[in-house]
Amino acid sequence: MSRFRDGIDDDGRMRLLRPVAALGAAALVLLAAAPALADPFPVQQIDGSTPVTDESWALPQPDQNSAALSKDVLSLTTPSPGFQAGTAVIDDSFRSDVAFTVDFDYKAYGGGNPGDAMTFFLMDAATAPNLGGSGGSSGYVAMQGGYVAVGLDNAGNFSADNQFPNRPSSVTLRGAALAAPTAWPVLDVTGAPGGTVSTSATQSRHVQVQVEPSGTDSLTVTVRMDAAAGGPLQTVYDHVDVRSLGRGQPARPARLDLGFSAGTGGATNNYEVSNVVATADADLSVAKSGPTSVAPGSDVTWTVTASSDDTNPVEGAVVTDTIPAGLTGVTWSCTPQTGGTCPDPATGDATAGQPLDVPVDLLRSGSVQITVAGTAPVGLAGTTVTNTATITSGTRTETDPSDNSATTSTRVRELPDLTPTVSVDPTPLVYGQGVTWTVDVENLATVDGLAPGATVHVSVPPVVASGSVVAPAGCTPQGDGYDCDLGTLAAGGSTTVTFTATVSGALDACTDGTSTFAATTSSDLPDADEDNDSDSVAVPCTVPVDLAVVKTGTAQATVGDEVTYTVTVSSAGDVPAPATTISDDLPPGLDDATWTCTVSDGSSCAPASGTGDVSAVATIPAHGTAVVVVTASTTTVGEVTNVAGVTTCDVCTGVGVLTASATTSVVAAPVTPTPTPTPTDTSTATPAPTPSASPAPTGPGELGTTGADAVAPLVWAVILVAAGIVVTIVVRRRSRG
């Protein structure tokens, strides 16, 4: 409890200075000009620890005043001489609508016939401290400005109101100097606990006086004291309204001072006061609200409402908010409500993990609202942050501390863990037919890992005709596929999107291998496990083909003639037959071959022409053809069979290897004999001899020399020469092969 610092007025009275409430070092916020709430509370005086020069008491009229002050005791009267009057005032006024409690110890001892009484009193602060009368006046009666006194009356004269018989060993309430018709009237008298107000010289008794405003013009007084030193407090007066007792008690003054007095007459006594503690009561409370949970990475805001009940106004109450560790970008602001005053400035920054102290002023039933906001980063995901606010007052005594603290716990939810699973039907794909693929999206997070703004991007592979895609609701074209809005997916929740389409996109995407169906998930929050955010399925693709091949060619030819073969590959299927290989290995007997390849839809063969054997690759259009025309020269006599083959692509289904052939009969070219030259006849004509039989040859190899017999050998010679030519051609072709 803070102490008063000394200060001296112009009139020489010691003046009490107001204490300065200690504010938290972590966040010091200066108050703006406060309303006139300042008062001396709390007071802690005469406890043996503070030098008297540091205290702020007014001891008026010192030449007549028997009071003496030290750090250990306020001595009001002594056993000698008689007829003493002692008065001491804590001359630092306070508003009369402030409820307060005064505790003090006292001793009353030493007089053989204990003299008169001592009082605790309140006086009008507008009147300078002054000294009351001795004897039964007890230093209070005759004090100008006195409003009410609680008298501890040994002799009974203070309670007699100048009337007899008196009431010794009583506790008496006396009224104000301005009461009418009788000043300082006796308001009430009751017996002292234990039947006496006396003490020993070594043991003190304890008194507690509680004063509260009553309406706008009166006060209630509660008095408790022990029956013997160290005993429990007993209630002597309980919330007695001093104006309700009659006797012309006036309205309470605007401001009050508190003090002590005592008086003796012919009978003397020691009256001493020590351990004075005066506190003003208050019932402060704090309430706190905030979200039950927030998403990681989002803002969190807590609201603190600090209030005072109608017991007392409170100046410099401190609201302390312990900022949870881990928050970032923390700020605060204060908004005054009815009867509340915020500091200036009323906003600022705060540090996570440190207390924020905000001083506020609260009138009766006043309040302020303090908002603390920050960001709960992703690092806090899956944790609970606790925010506690407390309110304290260095100038008031809290009557109900149970509501001085409030705590709100906010769960920072787990991060979502979205993962997709892709499935495709059928597998393998069949070009030209339909396909259905689904993406199951699951949030693997447990407890509370919501996935707000969950989406899945579903790619459409090139083998699928983009124009044929039927996407589910909530899916819109984006990039190489579709973005599907899944809304907020709860922890442990799942959803499925299903697509249908026709496998009629890029044909080479089907023939090149597998087609990949992929999906990638995301949400408005970072994902707990980015490694499982994507899934893909590689699906093989097949092409159903329905091909036929027909080959036609020259049926008959003569050696050396040019012959032509036509290979026609036709498709009866509804989809093209890609990468169809047309081959034609030319048989012996054909030479100097050239060929061309054309497709009915104008597309190209690879290659489109060539020489020698045929090997061309073409895509046969649906219900279209590819035609290969081969031109060659015959080189030998006999039947030449030319076989063409058709091989479908690796992923094509429906047919295997197709063949077709054409046969050409090749005959020798007719031979025209060369005429034998007729020699010039230079001999003399001789008569013609008589024909006779040709003589037989005279030996092997001999030829006849007559004209008719020479023809046959010549024909054979021609045949042998032709055979030699054929043999030579065959040998050359084999050597080329």
Token pair belonging to 736: 């080329």
Cα radius of gyration (the chain)? 63
pLDDT tens digits for range 144-203? 999 999 999 999 999 987 665 688 999 999 999 999 999 999 999 999 999 999 999 999
The full 3-state SS of 405-458, as one line of letters, equals EEEEEEEECCCCCEEEEEEEECCCEECCCEEEEEEEEEECCCCCCCEEEEEEEE
pLDDT band of residue 111 (cuts 50, 70, 90) is confident
Instruction: Give the per-residue pLDDT at 593.
Output: 96
For the record, the structure tokens of 231 come out as 């005993």
What is the band of 695 on the pLDDT scale with cuts at 50, 70, 90?
very low
What would the two tokens of residue 417 be?
């863990």
Which pLDDT band, with edges at 50, 70 and 90, does 691 fall under? very low
Phi, psi of 636, rounded to the nearest 5 degrees: -150, 155
Place 724 in a pLDDT band, splitting at 50, 70 and 90. low
C-alpha–C-alpha distance, residues 313 and 40, integer Å: 13
- DSSP-assigned letters across all residues of 546-558: -EEEEEEE-SEEE
The whole-number pLDDT of residue 709 equals 47
pLDDT at 443 over 60: yes
pLDDT beyond 80 at 6: no
Rounded mean pLDDT of 670-685? 64
Task: Identify any residues that bridge with 304 across adjacent strands, giving them in sequence order.
Answer: 288, 370
Q: Which distant-in-sequence residues (6+ apart) come within 8 Å of 732 by Cβ?
A: none
DSSP state of 729: H
pLDDT higher than threshold 90 for residue 717: no
pLDDT of residue 311: 84
The C-alpha angle 441, 447, 449, rounded to 5 degrees, equals 50
Domains of the chain, each with CATH number or no CATH: 43-280 (2.60.120.200), 283-412 (2.60.40.740), 418-542 (2.60.40.10), 547-667 (2.60.40.740)
Query: Looking at the predicted structure, is the pLDDT value of residue 696 above 90?
Result: no
The confidence band for 398, taking pLDDT boundaries of 50, 70 and 90, is confident
Residue 347 pLDDT exceeds 70: yes
pLDDT at position 681 = 57
Paired tokens of 187: 């308001």
**According to the model, what pLDDT value does residue 31 have?**
36
What average pLDDT does this structure show over 74-96? 93
Q: Which distant-in-sequence residues (6+ apart) come within 8 Å of 524 by Cβ?
A: 295, 451, 452, 453
DSSP characters over 262-303: EE-SSS--EEEEEEEEEEEEE-EEEEEE--SEE-TTSEEEEE
pLDDT at 513: 85
DSSP 712: H
> Nearest Cα to 79, choosing from 262, 264, 205, 272?
264
Kindly list the distances between the CA atom of residue 7 and the CA atoms of 65, 74, 644, 669, in Å, as whole numbers in the listed order. Answer: 22, 19, 126, 150
- Matching residue, tokens 């905030």: 290
Q: Is the pLDDT of residue 701 over 50?
A: no
Predicted confidence band at 687 (pLDDT cuts at 50, 70, 90)?
A: low
| Confidence class for position 310, pLDDT limits 50, 70, 90 | confident
